[in-house]
Amino acid sequence: MRIALLSALTGLLTMAMLPATAQETGLTSLATSDQGRGWEAVGRLEMGRGSFCTGALIAPDLVLTAAHCLYHMDTGERIDTGDVEFRAGWRNGRAEAYRGVRRAVTHPDYVYKGRDQLDRVSLDVALLQLDRPIRTIRVTPFETAEAPAAGDRVSVVSYAQDRSEAPAYENGCEVMERRRGVLMFTCSVDFGSSGAPVFTIGARGPQVASVISAKATAQGSPVALGTDLAPVLSVLREQLSSGSGVLNRGGSVRFLGNGTGGERREIGARFVKP
């Protein structure tokens, strides 16, 4: 097993990216319509070449995910925006809505440098503008919120390699650290969880406060790393309104293959290194 040591978030904390493995967790499957009710705005992002990430709708035409999902991990090249499809509420082979992506923006200071770059986590957010808004009573976009403080409890809804056909919900994760734009959680994430929304839940319901960037270990225990969303999101919104970003001029493309028949299926948590 190959382990890549990364720079510390603090002088006392060292991280190592490890291959994602199944864990005994408090995950609850959202495999039925009743279980998934209220979470339909979380969806699977098909990234082409059989890979996927998780994304969340924050406006009828805007999806949040991780910036590194937009790059081919083998070449470092930007994924063609026309190859990306958002499947809202994807569950057991069906989605509440299918949309292509018209435009994708990342922070101007974000530079993809591979899967194990801890200094990129604080900027690892992308905002995708869909080719058509999703306007259905079954899919309600989430509001966003300020990042939680250390010691606060959060929830995550994510897809992953062992839950690719339906998302799972984890409630009561703890924020272990919040420092320099990076949050560290006790939440369970795995291949495909990149871009998953981290929720704070209060009087206004669930609000997205962070985006999952990577899986790591801290002092021998598995943790999840996320981005302090608010400062990055404000920059992304400005970029989108100014017309910058990567534009898809060719319209949307739908990918309906299921990855069977011996096809190599590349999963989306690209910071995790085998």
CATH code: domain of residue 104: 2.40.10.10
Band of pLDDT at residue 212, cut at 50, 70 and 90: very high
Assess if residue 264 is contained within a domain: no
Q: Per the domain annotation, does 267 fall within a domain?
A: no
**Is 24 among the domain residues?**
yes
Q: State pLDDT tens for residues 56-75.
A: 999 999 999 999 999 988 88
Count of domains forming the chain: 1
Reported as a single tens digit per residue, the pLDDT across 233-273 is: 999 999 998 887 776 654 433 333 333 333 333 323 233 33
Q: What pLDDT is attached to residue 107?
A: 93
With respect to residue 11, please indicate whether it lies within any of the assigned structural domains.
Answer: yes
Question: How many whole angstroms from its chain centre is CA 163?
Answer: 14
pTM above 0.85, yes or no: no
Do the domain assignments include residue 257?
Answer: no
pLDDT of residue 134: 97
Domain span at 10: 4-247
Task: Decide if 171 is inside a domain.
Answer: yes
- pLDDT above 70: residue 115: no
Tokens at residue 60, please?
Answer: 């009828």
Burial class (CB in 10 A: 0-12, 13-18, 19+), 208: buried
User: CB atoms < 10 A from the CB of 128, how many?
Assistant: 30
